[in-house]
Amino acid sequence: MADLSSQSSVMSKEEKRASIGLAGIFSMRMLGLFMILPVISLYTEDLANITPLLLGLSISIYGLTQALLQIPFGLMSDRFGRKKIITIGLMLFIAGSVVAAMSTTIYGIILGRALQGAGAVAAAIMALAADLTLEQNRTKIMAAIGISIGISFGIAMVLGPLLASLVGLQGVFWFTAVLATIGIIILHQLVPKPRHLTVHKDAEPIPALMGRVLRDGQLLRLDFGIFCLHLVMTAMFVVLPLLMRGKLGIAAEDHWMVYLPVLGLSVIVMVPFIIIAEKKRKMKLVFITAVAVLSAACFSLFLFSDNLWGMVSVLFVFFTAFNFLEATLPSLISKIAFAGGKGTAMGVYSSAQFFGVFCGGLMGGFVWDSYGMATVFLVCAVILLSWFVVAVSMESPRHMSGLLKHIEIETDAQAKQITDMLLAVKGVLDVDISVDDSTAYLKVDNELLDKKALNAIIP
């Protein structure tokens, strides 16, 4: 681990190892979860006692266990060690994959998927990333992890159908077990061991701050948004693969030919909208427009559910808006969260996301069973419309950035004195100084920030 007194923003060799290793672990795990999404409804039809509701539950049950256990796993890693807890989580994921691979009933697959989600190591990985990096480099490793998740989703949409056509659903589950095993090897062979375990307010949930986060109306609007976004995405994949194979006549092994160009082009097209939102400071306008477009896309999927080119075109529009919102929501959490509250805000946000996954599978299965497959898209459109109404009322986010400074202090009185000094600096909007981890958490406007005055207080 590099000396904490160093002020270089260049990542050390150990920080680069940590960044590559932890992003690799995250991507292995998420790839395993996502690969099931486009194929499970196609390869479980012949199982005994299968119903649309049980199919939806098999897709989404991992979201429930993930939502319930990710914060406790993070807290346990503070007490028992990061690598130990991450290893346990990955072993639970392997166990779930094996159970699902060996199952001949839908109930066995549901149990396996629940165990996969029980290995909820996201918070522990983020905490380990913070342990292994200097304050000024922490955003780089967090960005690497975030990018790895997006890449994993795209690869999974293509690889899942290809692999399932060769080895079946059971083979896909065995492959996810192998991925998690590789993750354990990366953890112990590539990722450095932290010298000290420290609670990082910017990277992990803090129970004492939970009440403040849950009372923040702006953060709750974003939590509701990610809940709706992943509810809709999961509900769609309960029926979308079946509609593509049935009404649209696309063989299961060819579904990747739809996902690859649609996802690839959508990622390219969303970039200009991110630039407009961030650089031109039009975040709220572009954000609520994307939510409206997403709702309209779902309604169009309902209308074009039996038209090949109509469906493909609308899927492109859907994933362009989806990818924009998926990338923007965490950025908004970082902007809006109070100083020192980012880790807790992200913990609540992630729980809302995975609870949305769980509800999406149930909703998709129930609506399909009661009203038909295409109606799932219509209900998704209504849910997204409700998000639009909520999003319209949110405040335009201030263009704040998080800034961390290492600071040597011993008492709360010192912290209070330095806090007052920092708040008097032009461009410093919020300050929280933690005596426990010797860190000053600041929210700043980089365009207004008086860096000279700031560095005079904390070099």
pLDDT of residue 9: 65
Identify whether the C-beta of residue 135 lies closer than 8 Å to the C-beta of residue 198.
no
Half-sphere exposure of 49 (CA within 13 A, CB side): 9
- pTM (predicted TM-score): 0.90
Contacts of residue 157, Cβ cutoff 8 Å, sequence gap at least 6? 34, 37, 38, 256, 259, 260, 263
pLDDT of residue 434: 74
Q: What is the pLDDT tens value at each position of the chain, 459 positions in all?
A: 333 334 456 778 888 888 889 989 988 888 998 999 999 999 998 888 899 999 999 999 999 999 999 889 988 988 888 899 999 999 999 999 999 999 999 999 999 999 999 988 888 888 888 888 876 777 778 778 888 888 898 899 999 999 999 999 999 999 999 999 999 999 999 998 887 777 777 778 888 889 999 999 999 999 999 999 999 999 999 999 999 998 889 999 999 999 999 999 999 999 899 888 888 888 899 999 999 999 999 999 999 988 889 999 999 999 999 999 998 998 888 888 888 888 899 999 999 999 999 999 999 999 999 999 999 999 999 999 999 999 999 888 777 777 778 787 777 788 788 888 888 888 888 888 877 767 778 888 777 888 888 888 877
Identify whether the C-beta of residue 13 lies closer than 8 Å to the C-beta of residue 3.
no
C-alpha span between 229 and 237 (Å, rounded): 13
Residue extent(s) of CATH 3.30.70.100 domains in the chain? 401-457
Amino acid at 264: G
Architecture of the domain whose range is 401-457: 2-Layer Sandwich (3.30)
Block residue for tokens 């880790």? 343
What is the homologous superfamily of the domain 213-399 according to CATH? MFS general substrate transporter like domains (1.20.1250.20)
Identify whether the C-beta of residue 331 lies closer than 8 Å to the C-beta of residue 19.
no
Angle at 114 (CA atoms; ends 109, 115), nearest 5 degrees: 100
Residue extent(s) of CATH 1.20.1250.20 domains in the chain? 11-193, 213-399
What is the homologous superfamily of the domain 11-193 according to CATH? MFS general substrate transporter like domains (1.20.1250.20)
Reading the block at residue 429, the tokens are 């909007």
Summarize pLDDT for 122-154 with one digit per residue, the tens: 888 888 888 888 767 777 787 788 888 888 988
pLDDT of residue 3: 37
Block residue for tokens 């207080």? 457
Find the length of the chain: 459
Summarize pLDDT for 85-94 with one digit per residue, the tens: 999 999 999 9
Other Cβ atoms closer than 10 A to 42: 19
pLDDT of residue 100: 95
pLDDT of residue 89: 94
Integer-rounded Cα Rg, in Å, for the chain is: 22
- DSSP, collapsed to helix, strand or coil, labels residue 427 as coil
- DSSP, collapsed to helix, strand or coil, labels residue 8 as coil
C-alpha span between 299 and 201 (Å, rounded): 41
Cα dihedral sign, 9-136-82-176: negative
Identify whether the C-beta of residue 67 lies closer than 8 Å to the C-beta of residue 354.
yes
